[in-house]
Amino acid sequence: MKGVLVSAAGVIFGEISSESTEIYDSLMFKDNETILTGQFKVFLTEHEEELRKVLPDKTEEIVSDNVVVIDHLRQIGYEEVRFASAGEFSTFRSNINDFLVKKLDLTSPGELISLLRNKSLVQTQTLLRENVEARDKYLAQAINSIDDINSILNLIYARLSEWYGIHFPELVDLVRDNNQYIRLVSKMRGKVRSEIVTEEISSLSERRQELIQQAAENSLGADISNYDMNPISNLASFGVEILNIKENLENYIEESMKEVAPNLQFLVGSLLGARLISLVGSLENLAKRSSGTIQVLGAEKALFRHLRSGEDPPKHGVIFQSQFIHSAKKHQRGKIARALAGKLSIASRVDFFSGEFIAPTLLEDLEKRINEIKESFPEPSDKQKARKQKKKDSKSRGKRGKHFKKGPKKSGTRSDSKYKKRRNKKKD
């Protein structure tokens, strides 16, 4: 039985027996070479001829402590290869230091320990760097940045609608989209409402433009000077800059998802796919999650409320943003969410482990399943109707209880008489 052991210095070969271990050859790493998975595969491929010379016949059993070595040996024709059991390499490891001191022409074991330590540090630093540089980490930060930007934009819109609303209050009802409102006010640099022209409102429909111009002529808002209008326009311009940053981030996520998780992107879009990755930390973590976990990602509060108080469990988390779920009838959403989560689980695993593009097949199967659900459950079941009615009843009871006032406590009750007797005893 031959043994192949990997250390920070290289690949070491020996003969293992129940009594002793003899080390007879090795393939040493270069000074800056590490045993990371990708580099190690290349290293074994480059030294394949030396591997065949050192290793015995293919029929003899070979034992290794490294999965990459085992996979490579099987690929080049060695079938009798297995992973080492616990303690099988103990005698092997105890003889390594003496062998490496002679092999590397070192003066003492201390010099070997220093060499192995430096190699291990390089390996660890490279592993950490690769982990930090993973593209999915950048995607997670980008989608979190968009959430922060949305919060800032909501604050800017709230302030602008109040500030500019003093002068033109009707505009809030005529321009319902927050981003459009911010862009429109930013174009009104140094202008009052009566100076709104087609250029400022050209992005709106003709009917909406007419309504805005009519409202500007008959507005009930207070007059404002150009001097007072300037800071309002400056704030709106700042909001437009943030909107442009948000658009750039969305484009970045769109392009990055094509490389990192194309199957996930094809099923639910770039933003939702990136949000799923962000919620679990990385694409690897998402690939390890079950479909049931993916289904309720983002609904942790509702899930723990269900576990704590026995309320109905959540049917879906952030995947509700998918058009498959939010466009469906309410009683069908749970089943569709379960079907979608199953396909997302497969897509994330394929994206992480193989990179093969199978999204069209997954989408076809998903749409087929959704059509089956819609045909089989066109109306809610009796159980769902009963649950819905129960919720309505509990809400109505809660509302009645909120306005119900207790009357004055009746005197002469049993509790009152007991209290009086107790009080009289204390006085005595």
Tell me, what DSSP letter sits at residue 112? H
CA atoms within 13 A on the CB side of 95: 16
pLDDT at 37: 58
What residue ranges define each of the domains in the chain, with the CATH number in brackets?
A: 2-131 (3.30.420.220), 138-252 (1.10.287.4070), 261-376 (1.10.246.90)
pLDDT digits (tens, 9 = 90+) for 273-310: 999 999 998 898 999 999 999 999 998 888 888 888 87
Separation of alpha carbons 260 and 228, rounded Å: 49
List alpha helices for 77-205, DSSP H: 90-94, 96-103, 109-132, 135-163, 171-174, 178-187
pLDDT at residue 132, rounded to an integer = 45
Residue 404 pLDDT: 46
Query: Using CA atoms, how far apart are residues 357 and 363, in angstroms rounded to an integer?
Result: 12
Ranges of residues in the chain with a pLDDT under 50 are 132, 402, 404-406
Q: Could you give phi then psi for residue 215, rounded to 5 degrees?
A: -65, -35
Residue 222: both structure tokens together: 């207070």
CB 105 within 8 A of CB 246: no
Contact call for residues 295 and 316 (beta carbons, < 8 A): yes
Task: Give residue 226's pLDDT.
Answer: 84
Predicted local confidence at residue 393, as pLDDT: 74
Structure tokens given for 208: 């909406």
